[in-house]
Amino acid sequence: MIQYPQITIPPRSEHLWRYTPWKRVHPTKVEEIPNADPIKFSHGEESEMPGSDEIARAFIHSVSPICRKIILNDETTEVDLRCSGHICAGELSIESKGHSNLVIRISGDAGWVGLRVIGSVSGNLSIAYINDLASDAHFLRCEDWEILRDSTLEFATLSAGGFLNKSDIRFDLIEKGSEVRTGVASNGYGSRHDDHHLEIKHSVGHTYSSLVMHATCNDSSHSVGTGLLSITEGADGSDAGQVFRNLLLSEKSRAEAIPELEVLSDDVKAAHGAASAPIDVNQIHYLASRGLSDEEASALIVEGFLMDAFREIKSETVVSALRTRLLVHLECLMNG
């Protein structure tokens, strides 16, 4: 396995690093491997994680002082990840069987956070990820998931914390009947930068995937959503779709939505779409006529828009956790 110092720094022309280059993500000079404090996991037993040839994963693996493993079997679990210090990192292995719900909240005042996750799903797993890091944190997140035969992964992310966020999330449907439903909601404010890169690979036929990402951008914030949907040769009967929608709340905000399809089989269903638009002044006027202030009306519209990203998520436990945290977050922003 290639070690981090031997890996070539990827150019900005590469899809994954086009909008958030590696030099900007790295906590120090790119040739350095700094010391990191461990992420404090509320659950899990000590474990080991394999290395990687991909630069972000290799870096997190090199600096992580801790790895935890969580095994789920017909249960609902809440996991808190606390991050402190100048640089904080950790790795997490998740193995799910049966029908389980998992709520993961990452928080703390660390200046830079690196999290690497490897997961395997046999059965049905619904996950809520809540990024609640301090508003000046830099966050690098890398995940790799395998979904096994006749299994379903519901994967929901609420990204509301951190200043510069880079997420690289990959799913591999490796056996027939596997399914992944992904929802991502990102709320931009101030000069927050949130970059999500998601890849879904249909390695075999008769598999299903959906990806929905909604981003709201206020002030001078910037959202990037890229999705690579890959259906390999011979994966007939695959059904896949992805959609990116951005709501622009100010003239200085920016949003990029880049869905991509790579289809090497003929007998498949594959679709993608992207749209960006400003907030509807008629909706603001309607809510204002019912007694809401402009700030309250905007917050209500933002809430509904972001929660709609989770329309494919069936777990009430997961959706409730996301809605509760989103309401708290919007209230805190509104009250300054």
The amino acid at residue 268 is: V
Burial pattern 132-170, b for ≥16 Cβ within 10 A else e, equals bbbeebbbbbbbbbbbbeebbbbbbbbbbbbbbbbbbbb
Residue with tokens 């790795």: 91
User: The tokens of 82 are what?
Assistant: 């606390």
| pLDDT score recorded for residue 336 | 67
Question: What CA–CA distance (Å, rounded) separates 145 from 173?
Answer: 9
Backbone angles phi, psi at 193, to 5 degrees: -120, 120
| pLDDT score recorded for residue 299 | 82
Mean pLDDT, contiguous 10-residue spans, the chain (336 residues): 88 92 95 95 94 96 96 96 98 96 98 98 97 97 98 98 98 98 97 98 97 96 95 95 94 93 91 85 74 79 94 96 95 82
What are the angstrom distances between the C-alpha of 24 and each of 7, 30, 142, 235, 294?
17, 9, 16, 37, 36
Strand partners, 238: none
| pLDDT score recorded for residue 334 | 79
Strand partners, 317: none
Predicted TM-score (pTM) of this structure: 0.95
User: The tokens of 188 are what?
Assistant: 């931009």
3-state SS class at 329: helix
Q: How many helices (H) and strands (E) does the chain have?
A: 5, 17
The amino acid at residue 132 is: D
| pLDDT score recorded for residue 282 | 77
